[in-house]
Amino acid sequence: MSENKIPQGGIPMMPNGPQPGTPVQPVRANPLTKHFRQPKLYLKLPSGGSYWPEGSLELPENGEVPVYPMTAKDELVLKTPDALINGESTATMIQSCIPNIKNAYDTPSLDLDAILIAVRIATYGEKLTITSPVPNTEMTKDVEVDLIMLLDTVQGRTYDPLYVSNGFTFNIRPLNYRQFTKTALKAFEEQRMMQTIADTDLSEEEKMKKFNQSFGKLTSMTLDAVVTQMDWVQFGAEDKVSDKKHILEFFEQTSGEIFDGVKKSIEHKRNDHSLKPLIAQASDEEKAAGAPDTWEVPVSFDQSNFFVRK
């Protein structure tokens, strides 16, 4: 019986690549590439690129970013409940439809409405139908929104970051999408907790104790949200203070009048940049049923109607 001898240096390995002289097959380009989605419109951001951290936005020289329609995957993501709650689905969709946005969580609130309206137009068209209940009746009414006009209104917004009071100047930056989502989620959780406490069989003393704890958390959240939006604080001609810890200590030790003024200024700026409700006109039939001549119809980015194919 002969022995199997292993060559000195071990068993030679088979080469991974093609053998010398074997022609390499070129990778064939996808013939469907020309049918991929294309930009449907170009969007000029209301912020003009301000308040975006470096690297989060690639802004062309003309200041307009291309907007693509949503893919089937984007539409499915928007229907994922957990992703909707924490904002992940919206952030993912924004980066898919506007590739120039590299981190949608850094989107300043100034630009968010314009971005969502533009994606809606690119995907579903220029019209949006909102079904509104008719006040004082059991009827409903379809109200049509011209999204091009709405987008023009949003793009025409201007933002003044300064608030001056009692010798102080406060430079207020808008919240970004990450901060907005985090704040809203925390507030929702605390409000839900307070409702749960109200529905429990705890004694009134225990309920009051837990209510005070939740109210304290909401108060801290309000203070943190205000500090988050402070770029700097300056008194007269003194040096500007931008350290968040120092600003927090200032608000904790200053008068309620100053803090309330800053808080109201933030709310005023936010309201100035919120979508105004539409005015619906009642028909004769609706008036006969008890409806007023006109009523307000809110425009919201509820995924149940705003991002739905109809």
Alpha helices in 200-255 (DSSP H): 204-228, 244-253
**What pLDDT score was predicted for residue 188?**
65
Q: Please tell me the distance from the alpha carbon of residue 286 to that of residue 290, in angstroms, as a whole number.
A: 7
Amino acid at 125: G
More confident call, 25 vs 65: 65
**What pLDDT score was predicted for residue 297?**
93
**What pLDDT score was predicted for residue 24?**
67
Q: Is 247 helix (H, G, I), strand (E, B) or coil?
A: helix
**What pLDDT score was predicted for residue 45?**
95
Cβ 273 vs Cβ 113: under 8 Å? yes
Backbone region of residue 262 per phi and psi (left: phi > 0; alpha: psi in -120 to 50; beta: other values):
alpha
Q: Where are the domains positioned within the chain?
A: 36-125+145-157, 162-272
Q: Phi and psi (nearest 5°) for 156?
A: -85, 0
Residues 6 or more apart whose CB falls under 8 angstroms from that of 25 comprise none
Question: What pTM was computed for the model?
Answer: 0.79
User: Which range has the worst mean pLDDT, 118-122, 190-194, 302-306?
Assistant: 302-306
Cβ 229 vs Cβ 175: under 8 Å? yes
**What pLDDT score was predicted for residue 185?**
72
